[in-house]
Structure 1
Amino acid sequence: MLYIIAVAGALLAANTLSLVIAGWRIRSRQDETPSVSARPPVSIVIPLCGVEQFSRETLESALSLDWPDYEIIFCVADKADPVIGVAEEARRAKPLTQATVLVGDDRVSANPKLNNCVKGWNAALHEWVVLADSNVLMPKDYLVRLIAAWRPDSGLVCSTPLGSRPTGFWAEVECAFLNTHQARWQYAGEALGFGFAQGKSMLWRKKILNSHGGIQALGAEIAEDAAATKLVNRMGLKVHLVGGPFEQPLGRRTFREIWARQCRWARLRRVTFPHFFAPEILLGVVPPLSLCVCAASVSGASLSITAVAVLCVAYIPELLLAARKNWHLSPISLVAMVTRDVLLPAIWIRSWLAGSFDWRGNRMVIGSNGSRLEAGVAEPIASP
């Protein structure tokens, strides 16, 4: 009995500690822009594939940065992709920014996103290069915050996405996954010396990556951010995070989309960092709640009071973190967090099973053997 209570208490304590560390580490979106001693020229490479709800807004945000000298390189694999028109419209709306659209596909890896970035990386004119997803909403101080986070021992600076502007319940669940769960644990991990890359925004020094195989080296893993993390660690350098995550507007989401995306990310983590992924089954409220309810049942304590106490200990600090950092909160945020935590064990179990998924019109295959990565790309298929 005491052992069960001790384990549950340890899990809740770890949850609270991670929230405290993240709260200390992450700057609020209302904080002042950090200062930088120099503003070197920067190239921003943005892979595009398909038109999304906020595509026009996010692409125009990339063309509106407060930085004296930077270029934007939009990369598109398929010349028939309608996103080319959106990128051209964004360029016309912001004619003072140096921007180009490159079309073509370099099959250097099993990762379609990485393949799409190769031509942009090769064309980049500047030493500092940012690889940024097209759905990142860049604030005007985007480059200031990336450069300010670079330290003498940095090999890479990146940002996890911050979910915002959700429409509907499942988009709220997506926010609960992205913000107070994934971003929280990533910042807590970095603060404890376990920084890892996130592919949404990655700032590189071109000479560092080129001296270790170039952008093609990021094809060593099926996910380019996992390959980046391992490469930087082999260099004896570190992955650092920006002071606060950059926004990703979500719009409407469905359960099917959330399930597919979270299962895909979980399976990628499982095959690339299995020793870190295995303990993820202990995250969320389900393990400590189950243990505490079991202990209460055996001891004759009130099950309802026990459950409410565990939920308060788990979620009040999480809600406070979101509120203090000015992240998205709504009347159903708590329900979305509980739903997320109910899904976590099922997602973890699903990650250990073999299967395939569609990634931007490509079929990706991941095997069930966690000791190695079995991945491949079939011929492109129609995007859903």
Structure 2
Amino acid sequence: MFLATAATVLMIAHLVAVWLYLRRLDRPEPTGGVIGQPFVTLLRPVCGLDPFDEETLQSSFDQHYPRYEIIFCAQSADDPVIGLVNRLIARNPQVPARLLVGYDRISGNPKLNNVWKGWNAASGDWVCMTDSNLLLPPDYLATVVGSWGPATGIVSSPPIGIRPQTLGGQLECAFLNSNQALLQFAAGSVGPAYAQGKTLFFNKPLLEHAGGLRALGQTLAEDAAATLITREMGREVTLTPLPYAQPIGRRTLAQVWNRQLRWSRVRRDAFPLLFAFEVLNGGVAPVICAIAALVLSGGDLAFGVGYVALWYLAEVFLAARAGWPMGVQGVFLLVLRDLMMPAIWLTTFLRRGFEWRGTAMAAQPAASAVPAE
């Protein structure tokens, strides 16, 4: 009876999450909001040259927003992306944009150390920090700004994966789309939302009052810290109506494993109680409960097959409605993803911290700023 109840509850939660996202697809984009259309600094850290960089960084200049500037931040003058950024700035004189180069060691987080100079150089009170591999639609800034509500402390949005070019790329989309983005938006629909580092829209004076950019280095990732700080201020994380696309391209299975393990360690460090229940994430635990309940009760295993089919067909239907990549082998990758999840969850406990772009990262107090030489 317990197993049957658990299987039923988990299935209902899964279907409700799918339903909540389907409702978002018909929701109109926010207009106006409570802060109007203030001047915004679009802050984009860049590091290295990736296949989609020209397209994703060009999208910074194509915003249908009346007043904004772009600040690109690179760590070193010999970074291969600098030439591309300079060409894009020259190609788009209609938008005020500049590239700042240097590295300020304000924390153990290299991304924060990179954007520190841009944060200080921002011309206004509103800053949107956006990863370089996010493809921004023309209404990106207008939507982010319009999403700010009376109780908002930060506006954020998870990414969804598009354009996978390998089996590993398709697997990463399976993780990003109908699992992580689905659950993040479901959480935001029924309770407190969680920030995701691809998009972080701040009111600069508000964050400075809570410790500023340095305070975001208190956990393994700035988005987890932003969530905690926002809640400590008595404010909310507000999600945009829908996520924004990240072109995936080529991924190996090892790269997917390492990325998921890295993010798993971030969640374990920042939200340990919530992380304890992540072992129930995906289809493995509910399917085991359903099959075990049928076996122990002498029920027809055909109901188990129907249970599995309903679980994954709900995701396939959602992907089709949302326009997410799936393909013929997509269902098999959903199953592979779910089989990987318990292994990733267990491996997370082997050690804390991780390596990101060659830098070992661990939660630690922010250090004093050391200006780049």
TM range (shorter): over 0.9
What is the CA–CA distance in structure 1 between the aligned matches of 2:31 and 2:297, rounded to whole Å? 57
Indicate the SS of the match to 2:264.
helix
Per-residue CA deviation, residues 237-264 of structure 1 (Å, 9 max, x unaligned), is 0000001101101011110100000000
Q: Which residue of 2 aligns with 1:360?
A: 357
Q: Provide the aligned C-alpha RMSD in A.
A: 1.9
Letter in 1 for 2:234: G
Q: Which residue of 2 aligns with 1:20?
A: 19
Q: Which residue, out of 321, 331, 335, partners 1:334?
A: 331
> For residue 35 of structure 1, what is the amino acid of its counterpart?
T
Out of 119, 143, 146, the position equivalent to 2:144 is 146
Most deviating of 246-255 and 347-356: 347-356
Work out the CA distance in 2 between the residues paired with 1:35 and 1:75.
30
Distance in 2 between the 1:292 and 1:219 partners?
42
TM-score calculated relative to the size of structure 1: 0.91
* Contact 2:129–2:199, Cα closer than 8 Å, also in 1: yes
Question: Does the Cα contact within 8 Å between 2:73 and 2:99 map onto a contact in 1?
Answer: yes
Residue 126 of structure 1 and its aligned partner are, at CA, apart by 1.3
1:7 aligns with 2:13: no
Matched, 1:315 2:277: no
Could you say which residue in structure 2 is the equivalent of 1:178? 176
Contact 1:49–1:360, Cα closer than 8 Å, also in 2 = no
What is the one-letter code of the residue matched to 2:323? N
Aligned-partner Cα distance in 2 for 1:129–1:376: 21
The answer to whether the 8 Å contact 2:108/2:364 transfers is: no
Cα offset for 1:301?
A: 4.1
Which residue identity does 1:180 align to in structure 2? S
AA in 2 matched with 1:20: W
Q: Take 1:4 and 1:339, find their aligned partners in 2: how far apart are those partners?
A: 23
Between 293-302 and 245-254, report the one with greater CA deviation. Answer: 293-302
- Cα deviation for residue 106 of structure 1 reads 0.8
Work out the CA distance in 1 between the residues paired with 2:365 and 2:234. 28
- Structure 2: 5+ residue runs without aligned partners? 368-373
Q: 2:92 aligns with which of 88, 94, 99?
A: 94
Match of 1:167 among 165, 168, 171: 165
Q: 2:168 and 2:64 mapped to 1: Cα distance?
A: 34
Query: Is the CA contact (8 Å cut-off) linking 2:265 and 2:352 kept in structure 1?
Result: no
Query: Which one scores higher on RCO, CA 8 angstroms, separation ≥ 6?
Result: 2
Distance (Å, rounded) in 2 between the aligned partners of 1:206 and 1:318: 38
Is the Cα contact below 8 Å between 2:220 and 2:353 reproduced in 1? no
The match for 1:156 among 154, 157, 172 is 154
Matched, 1:279 2:277: yes
Q: TM-score, normalised by structure 2?
A: 0.93
Amino acid at match of 1:21: L
Distance 2:147 2:365 in 1: 34
Aligned pair in 2 of structure 1 residues 253, 376: CA closer, same or farther (>3 Å)? farther
**In 1, distance between residues paired with 2:137 and 2:18?**
25
Q: Single out whichever of 106-115 and 293-302 deviates more from structure 2.
A: 293-302
Residue 90 of structure 1: CA displacement? 1.6
**Matched letter for residue 286 of structure 2:** P
Percent identical: 40
Distance 1:356 1:276 in 2: 18
Q: CA deviation at 1:41?
A: 1.1
How far did residue 32 of structure 1 move?
5.9
Retained in 1: the 8 A contact 2:45–2:73? Answer: yes
8 Å contact kept, 1:64–1:94: no
Are 1:234 and 2:232 matched, yes or no?
yes
| TM-fit CA distance, 1:8 | 1.4
User: 1:1-384 residue pairs with structure 2 within 5 A?
Assistant: 2-24=1-23, 26-27=24-25, 33-36=29-32, 38-303=36-301, 305-354=302-351, 357-365=354-362, 373=363
Secondary structure in 2 matching 1:327: coil
Give a deviation string over 1:316-347, Cα, whole Å, max 9, x none: 22222222222223222211211111111001
Asked if the contact 2:217/2:365 (under 8 Å) is kept, the reply is no
Q: Distance in 1 between matches of 2:275 and 2:40?
A: 34
- Letter of the 1:341 partner, please give it: D
- Displacement of 1:300 in angstroms is 4.1
SS in 2 for 1:165: strand
Which amino acid counterpart does residue 138 of structure 2 have in structure 1?
K
Q: Distance in 2 between matches of 1:193 and 1:283?
A: 18
Task: Name the CA distance, whole Å, in 2 between partners of 1:375 and 1:237.
Answer: 23
1:208-252 CA-to-partner distances (Å, cap 9, x unmatched) read 111122111111212111111111101110000001101101011
Matched to 1:104, the amino acid is G
Q: How many residues align?
A: 365
Q: Is the 8 A contact 1:33 1:141 kept in 2?
A: no
- Structure 2 residue identity aligned to 1:22: Y
